[in-house]
Structure 1
Amino acid sequence: MPRIDVWCELQCPDCRTALADLALLRDRFGDELVVELRHFPLEKHKHAHIAAQAAEEARAQGALWPYVEAVLVRVEDLAKAKGAAAERLLVEIARSVGLDADELESALIDGRHIFQVDADEAEGAAIGVKGTPTYEVAGRLLDGSKDQTGLREKIEELLAASPDA
């Protein structure tokens, strides 16, 4: 089964732009394509780590991608949020996509998903991820953090040539 690991950061405008390419890839490859979100919070984005934790709670509640897409649509709002306002925004977004917002808020308070986010970040750094979005396809890293031109086509080529496809 074809697979893409997407190293993403939920305060990253480039990751929001990447959603269109991911939608086109899903259209082309259908339900056979596995798109796995991997977290790579960047230091320059102060709410990225907590947003990643919120996304992990959304995954636990069965709505990872709707939540991720809703957060990325509001990336500017998240960037402007100060202090607890960022958490309130993440909880509000959870509510808007039908998640148990109280449970998401509890997850942010008790930190139950910190280790998963930290593990993703460490693995990304170990394999050479430097920015977001970065795609891992058929054992190759494709960095979309500076320019996404032609990336979808390259991903399609790699997926088509992959023995798992």
Structure 2
Amino acid sequence: MIEGSLPPVEFWCELQCPDCRSALDDVRALRDRFGDALTITLRHFPLEKHKHAYPAAEAAEEAFAQGKGWEYVEAVLARVAELDQRGPELLVEVAAELGLDAEEVDLALIDGRHMLVVDADQAEGKAIGVTGTPTYVVAGKRLDGGKSQEGLLEEIVALLEG
């Protein structure tokens, strides 16, 4: 590791997961503390129990392609209960509200252009032992936030500064 550089943080997330919505507070705190020195990468781990999680991951990838991925992720997670009820309709609506090309988001859900990214994330997650969300991988260590997020922020900071 280069002197003064930080290891990246992988945030394994599912956009229909209420715990991931809560975990955004930790992600924001990390950004506030470390700024541009820290890279936080969203990794997709849609769970089968949430029927709109996979399309939400695809829509998020399109939002990243359009340059507003994190804003999109935060906006969708803020409306988890509504996503459960409205599904893809909400995903396109959120894109429009953020000034994204909503038609392109809708088309991405239809043509599956981001399926390979979501499938690859899911396969890698399973391979490294991710079983639920949120999960973080920091400096090669997996931290499971699905059971409890208590103390996770402090543990991530310790790994980053260690």
TM-score, structure 1 length as denominator? 0.94
The answer for the alignment partner of 1:113 in structure 2 is 114
Which runs of structure 1 show a deviation greater than 4 angstroms over 4 or more consecutive aligned residues? none
How many aligned residue pairs are there?
Answer: 157
The answer for the alignment partner of 2:11 in structure 1 is 6
The answer for the alignment partner of 2:124 in structure 1 is 123
The answer for the alignment partner of 2:66 in structure 1 is 61
State the alpha-carbon separation in 1 of the partners of residues 104 and 126 from structure 2. 30
State the alpha-carbon separation in 1 of the partners of residues 99 and 161 from structure 2. 35
The answer for the alignment partner of 2:145 in structure 1 is 144
State the alpha-carbon separation in 1 of the partners of residues 135 and 89 from structure 2. 28
1:88 CA displacement: 1.2
1:80 CA displacement: 1.9
State the alpha-carbon separation in 2 of the partners of residues 51 and 94 from structure 1. 11
Residue among 75, 82, 95 paired with 1:70: 75
Partner of 1:43, secondary structure, is coil
Q: What percentage of residue pairs aligned between the two structures are identical?
A: 64
State the alpha-carbon separation in 1 of the partners of residues 137 and 144 from structure 2. 9
Which amino acid in the other structure matches residue 95 of structure 1? A
State the alpha-carbon separation in 1 of the partners of residues 26 and 99 from structure 2. 25
Is 1:25 aligned with 2:30? yes
Which amino acid in the other structure matches residue 62 of structure 1? G
RMSD: 0.6
The answer for the alignment partner of 2:133 in structure 1 is 132
Partner of 1:136, secondary structure, is strand
State the alpha-carbon separation in 1 of the partners of residues 111 and 131 from structure 2. 29
State the alpha-carbon separation in 2 of the partners of residues 59 and 70 from structure 1. 13
State the alpha-carbon separation in 2 of the partners of residues 30 and 87 from structure 1. 33
Structure 2 residue runs without a partner (length 5+): none
Structure 1 residue runs without a partner (length 5+): none
State the alpha-carbon separation in 1 of the partners of residues 98 and 151 from structure 2. 32
1:81-100 pair list within 5 angstroms? 81=86, 86-100=87-101
1:130 CA displacement: 0.6
1:79 CA displacement: 1.1
State the alpha-carbon separation in 1 of the partners of residues 35 and 60 from structure 2. 23
